[in-house]
Amino acid sequence: MLKKRFFALLGVLFCALFVVGVLGGSAVAQERNIILTTTTSVQDSGLLDALVPVFEKNTGYIVKTISVGSGQAMAMAKRGEADVLLVHSPKAEEEFVNAGFGVNRRLVMYNYFVLVGPPEDPAKVNGMKSAKEAFENIAKTNSLFVSRGDNSGTHALEKKVWGLTGLVTDKQSWYQETGLGMGNTLSVANEKGGYTLTDKATYLSLKKKLRLIIVVHESKELYNAYSVIEINSEKFPKVNTAGAKAFADFLLSDEGQKIIAKYGVESFGEGLFFVKQ
């Protein structure tokens, strides 16, 4: 009796799985799917919504964009769970490529991170040319600094600048980590009247809701380069090599570069990304 019931239960389970399988039916279309892992700053800027539909129309591929911090994007790619990366964490990217996980790393676009802060500017850093000096002033005056703290590309660059100053931020009362995305971190800095390092795209798109102002921009320490990396298919046979290459080539094609350079001009009055000439 119990045995019979067990088999009946198995039957139901099997049927359910079958229904699920049929509903999915995606295994067939797999080689048309490209998994792109990218950073939240690219996704939140809206740039991909301008790029991806054009690429999909040109090639017939379907791009599945997963937006996470650069750290997680690379951690996933190290397991072969992505086909192509669009990230901005140069040091980690080099290690990634050197370790054989990725191939064909190419610069797609760049811009500058900006330091934003409250208009009262308690650390007196407004208009400074060097991010390093601005960071030193913030620490010296014990002004609140809000960090992403999430291993993202933005966080990596911020740590690099702190490294240049030689200051310790760990456990300092003026240094707070959110562990959140850029938009949320900006909101926290806004509420608490703190400074934070942000990419320009996210800041500009949120500007009307923030009282934070840009205090340091185009400092050479804040150069922010986005690269595309194709995942090494020798290491991970399931990777969609052709699709990854097609997408990377598209980003660097005249058409792709033109879309990137023009992006943002209409809504913000200035471009958000520069392309290499």
The rounded distance, in Å, linking the Cα atoms of 163 and 107 is 25
Of 13, 99, 168, 265, the one binding other proteins by CB under 8 A: 13
Please list, in sequence order, all residues whose beta carbon lies within 8 angstroms of the beta carbon of residue 35, skipping any fewer than 6 positions away.
Answer: 64, 66, 81, 82, 83, 84, 240
**Distance from C-alpha of 209 to C-alpha of 198, rounded to nearest angstrom:** 15
49 vs 95, beta carbon nearer other proteins: 49
Q: Please report how close the Cβ of residue 144 comes to other proteins at its closest, in angstroms.
A: 20
Q: Is the sign of the CA dihedral 46, 76, 240, 249 positive or negative?
A: positive
Site track for other proteins across 175-214, x = CB under 8 A:
-----xxxxx-xx-----------------xx--x-----
Shortest CB 34 distance to other proteins, Å:
11
Cα distance between residue 110 and residue 98, in whole Å:
22
**Cβ atoms 107, 276 nearer than 8 A:** yes
Number of shown-chain residues binding other proteins (CB under 8 A): 39
Contact between 117 and other proteins per CB under 8 A: no
Q: Any contact of residue 23 with other proteins (CB under 8 A)?
A: yes
Stretch of 33-41, 138-146, 164-172, 192-200 lying at the interface with other proteins (CB under 8 A): 33-41
Q: Give the shortest CB-179-to-other proteins separation in angstroms.
A: 13
Nearest CB to other proteins, comparing residues 52 and 216: 52
Cα gap 157→161, rounded to integer Å = 6
The residues, ordered by sequence, that sit 6+ positions from 82 with a Cβ below 8 Å of its Cβ are: 35, 36, 37, 66, 73, 76, 231
CA distance 42 to 67: 8
**Which residue type sits at 23?**
L
Contact region with other proteins (CB under 8 A), list: 21-29, 139-147, 162-170, 252-260: 21-29
Taking the complex as a whole, how short is the minimal distance between the CB of residue 91 and other proteins, in angstroms? Answer: 26
Residue 80 as a binder of other proteins (CB under 8 A): the answer is yes
Stretch that binds other proteins, among 76-84, 86-94, 125-133, 191-199 (CB under 8 A): 76-84
Query: Which of these ranges, 17-25, 88-96, 148-156, 247-255, lies near other proteins under the rule CB under 8 A?
Result: 17-25
C-alpha span between 227 and 24 (Å, rounded):
33
| Residue 150 near other proteins by CB under 8 A | no
Does residue number 3 form part of the binding site for other proteins (CB under 8 A)? no
What distances in angstroms separate CA 226 from CA 66, 105, 144, 194, 220, one per listed residue? 16, 10, 29, 27, 16
Q: Which residues lie near other proteins (CB under 8 A)?
A: 2, 5, 9, 12-13, 16, 19-21, 23-24, 26-27, 30, 33, 35, 40, 44, 49, 62, 64-67, 79-81, 180-184, 186-187, 205-206, 209, 236, 238
